[in-house]
């Protein structure tokens, strides 16, 4: 008997094989997580990266961790230095790391130690088109994603871009752990609510924790 697995199992909703929605899992810490962002973006600012095919990304991002996801006209990759500053990305704050490990554990992944955390920022007009996350070396490790601020409509597709996507609402404090068969599925974001969030203002933030190398 593992009491901590049953005490709030109500909030663990399977979304797809290998994907678990932990509704409100980060609610208590949401404000503290958001409070880290100004300190982090003072080291590595939010920027709009470009892609080889699609031009400037509407979502603004930076990374923390030993390595970070970057995109430019040469393609996508992970690298230890922020190309904007030429310096290492800021370290993953302890409260980020601890939350990610607890969420992964709840979803059945013991000892999740991410080496990268991509911080995405959206306003009400920002979309993220359907894509797969394939640039991480370790596809057995899950990805943990934390939604903060304004609610959004998440697009969940299948193994092929042609598969019909379904929408899920994600709210401040929701955490999703994507592993196993869901790790390589197409996904995107097709709308953020208009308005203001009491802690995040006119933004939605998303933290995605990855084991990239």
Binding site for Fe ion (CB under 5 A): 133
Query: Cβ of residue 133: shortest distance to Fe ion, in angstroms?
Result: 4
Identify which of residues 43 and 57 has a Cβ nearer to ligand MD3 in the complex.
57
| Distance between CA atoms of residues 21 and 176, nearest Å | 4
Query: Cβ of residue 7: shortest distance to Fe ion, in angstroms?
Result: 31
Question: What would the x/- binding string for ligand MD3 be over residues 119 to 148, using CB under 6 A?
Answer: -x-------x----x---------x-x---
Identify which of residues 6 and 123 has a Cβ nearer to ligand MD3 in the complex.
123
Q: Which two tokens stand for residue 33?
A: 């997580």
Count Cβ atoms within 10 A of the Cβ of residue 199 and give its class: 0-12 exposed, 13-18 middle, 19 or more buried: middle
Q: Which two tokens stand for residue 36?
A: 């880290």
Q: Judged by CB under 6 A, which of 206, 209, 211, 212 binds ligand MD3?
A: 206
| Distance between CA atoms of residues 184 and 178, nearest Å | 9
Question: What would the x/- binding string for ligand MD3 be over residues 177 to 196, using CB under 6 A?
Answer: -x---xx-x-x-x-------
Query: Cβ of residue 186: shortest distance to ligand MD3, in angstroms?
Result: 8
Q: Identify the bridge partners of residue 191 per DSSP, sorted by sequence position.
A: 153
Query: Is 197 a residue that touches ligand MD3 (CB under 6 A)?
Result: no
Identify which of residues 67 and 208 has a Cβ nearer to ligand MD3 in the complex.
208
Strand 187-192 vs strand 152-156: parallel, antiparallel, or unpaired? antiparallel
The interface partner of residue 67, options being ligand MD3, Fe ion, none and the CB cut-off 5 to 8 Å by kind, is none
| Distance between CA atoms of residues 194 and 107, nearest Å | 31
Q: How many residues in total does the chain contain?
A: 213
Query: Cβ of residue 187: shortest distance to Fe ion, in angstroms?
Result: 6
CB count within 10 Å of CB 86 equals: 7
Q: Is the dihedral of CA 16, 119, 191, 169 positive or negative?
A: positive
Binding footprint of ligand MD3 on the chain (CB under 6 A): 118, 120, 128, 133, 143, 145, 176, 178, 182-183, 185, 187, 189, 206, 208
């Amino acid at each position: 008997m593992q009491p901590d697995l049953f005490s709030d199992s109500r909030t663990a909703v399977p979304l797809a094989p290998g994907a678990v929605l932990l509704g409100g899992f980060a609610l208590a810490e949401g404000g503290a997580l958001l409070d880290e962002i100004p300190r982090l973006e003072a080291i590595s600012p939010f920027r709009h990266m470009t892609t080889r095919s699609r031009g400037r990304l509407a979502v603004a991002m930076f990374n923390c961790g030993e390595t970070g996801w970057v995109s430019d006209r040469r393609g996508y990759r992970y690298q230890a230095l922020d190309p904007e500053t030429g310096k290492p990305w800021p370290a993953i704050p302890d409260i980020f790391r601890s939350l990610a490990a607890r969420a992964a554990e709840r979803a059945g992944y013991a000892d999740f130690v991410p080496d990268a955390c991509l911080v995405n920022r959206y306003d009400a007009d920002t979309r993220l088109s359907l894509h797969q996350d394939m640039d991480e070396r370790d596809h057995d490790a899950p990805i943990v994603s934390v939604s903060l601020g304004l609610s959004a409509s998440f697009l969940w597709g299948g193994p092929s871009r042609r598969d019909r996507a379904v929408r899920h609402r994600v709210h401040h404090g929701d955490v999703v752990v994507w592993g196993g068969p869901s790790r390589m599925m197409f996904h995107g974001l097709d709308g953020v609510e208009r308005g203001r969030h009491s802690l995040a203002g006119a933004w939605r933030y998303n933290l995605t924790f990855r084991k990239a190398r």
